[in-house]
Amino acid sequence: MGTKRLHLIDAIRGLSLFGILAANMLIFQYGFYGKDEMEFFEVSRGETYFHTFLQITVEGSFMPIFAFLFGFGMVKMVENLQELNLGVKRTAARRFVFLIVLGLLHSVFLWEGDILLGYGITGLFLLFFLKRKAKTLLIWTVILFGATVLLGYGGSVDDYAQDDSSLSQYVTKTNMVYGEGSYLDILQHRMNEDPMLDLGVPEGLIPVVALFALFIGIFPFLFGMYGAKRGWFTSPEQEKKLYTKGLVLLPFGLMCKSAYFLMGSHPLSGAIFIAGSMFLAAGYLFLFAYFYTAVRNPSFFGFFGYVGRLSLTNYIAQTIICTTIFYGYGLGLFGELGIVYGFLLTIVVYYGQVHFSKWYLKHFRTGPLERAARIATYLTLSGRPKKKRELEGKKAAS
């Protein structure tokens, strides 16, 4: 009983965690807003170019892959629950409530760049799409993708430069507090300081805007649900044509994101950047799947798979490791390491996670946070569905 584990999906999830770490490394060492305000830091011209390179190739193009996999995994979880004759919506809802709680703890006590809270809330939205056909999911994906791109109209690279004065005080204070402050200093700053309020956004409107953004931004999750219902990535060898066709999105996405930095104040530049980020994410997805079928080296993809199987644990571990390195209560390297060395640190941390995950999975079946999620989902200390144990008991008795 149960859904067969898809090793390609594990590997893609592991790959997306590398890209997410590379993008988050800029936030860990420069702050959520400071990463786009490099003039507040001592950055060489070469590092400025490398920063732009990361913005084009990494930022905004790996998180959608993770979102795709979340939607994909949701459909597979539902299929498994239906096999076990368990209540689908209430069981899935418990998983999402767990993510919301974990995300709140993560964002309050560790780091403001958390995605788990948003994923948990998005999961509750997605419950309304569970019974929709693949075609309907695709239509909603296209509609919401188009709406998101339209919202980017009017945004440009020059707009960020115009907003520097309103953010300068916040970024300057963040640099001092995060680099030199204690854990309590950083916690207080994270909870009480918000540049959005300084920009004139009413405090009561921020949660409304956040929920609206979550709903509009669910299209990569819906696309993942569409892919799962179409059976993508279940038979890689038979899907080479699909992966090959998807490769065209790779150069198209890179061109769109590059155009953002060349178009300056053109009102279309923001919309093109958003579209390019999504096209590039899909291109990476199909490129990795293509190499999975073309390169006869299972051990190489297994490295990513180890990390992917412990994705929740590794994601939180990345926060603990990097905040300890950059924040004042640790090594205090906030804003000092540099963009290039930060990327090298990304490789080192990820490499360590590969080997830790490989070692861990030799001794345990699931990661600690993955197990906690299963306990919360199935309400059993073993983390296994009650129905599944009953069925296995009846089978053994017969």
Half-sphere exposure of residue 137, counting CA atoms within 13 Å on the CB side?
25
Q: For residue 153, what are the contacts with CB-CB under 8 A and spacing of at least 6?
A: 267, 268, 270, 271
- Note the pTM of the prediction, 2 decimals: 0.90
pLDDT digits 0-9 by tens, 132-173: 999 999 999 999 999 999 988 776 544 544 455 667 888 889
- Distance, in Å, from the CA atom of 174 to the CA atom of 181, rounded to the nearest integer, reads 10
- Distance, in Å, from the CA atom of 121 to the CA atom of 114, rounded to the nearest integer, reads 13
Measured CA distances, 223 to 10, 126, 143, 218, 334 (Å): 18, 11, 11, 9, 37
Positive or negative: CA dihedral 150, 222, 24, 112: positive
| pLDDT over 60 (residue 331) | yes
pLDDT digits 0-9 by tens, 234-267: 988 899 999 999 999 999 999 999 999 888 778 8
| pLDDT over 90 (residue 214) | no
Specify whether the CB–CB gap between 351 and 201 falls below 8 A.
Answer: no
Q: For residue 168, what are the contacts with CB-CB under 8 A and spacing of at least 6?
A: 37, 40
Which pLDDT does position 56 carry in this prediction?
A: 96
Rg (CA), the chain: 21
pLDDT digits 0-9 by tens, 359-393: 999 999 999 999 999 999 999 988 888 755 454 55
- Distance, in Å, from the CA atom of 347 to the CA atom of 331, rounded to the nearest integer, reads 19
State the pLDDT confidence band at 197, using cuts at 50, 70 and 90. low
Q: For residue 306, what are the contacts with CB-CB under 8 A and spacing of at least 6?
A: 14, 354, 357, 358, 361
Residue 332 region by backbone torsions, left for phi larger than 0, else alpha for psi between -120 and 50, else beta: left
pLDDT, mean of residues 330-357: 96
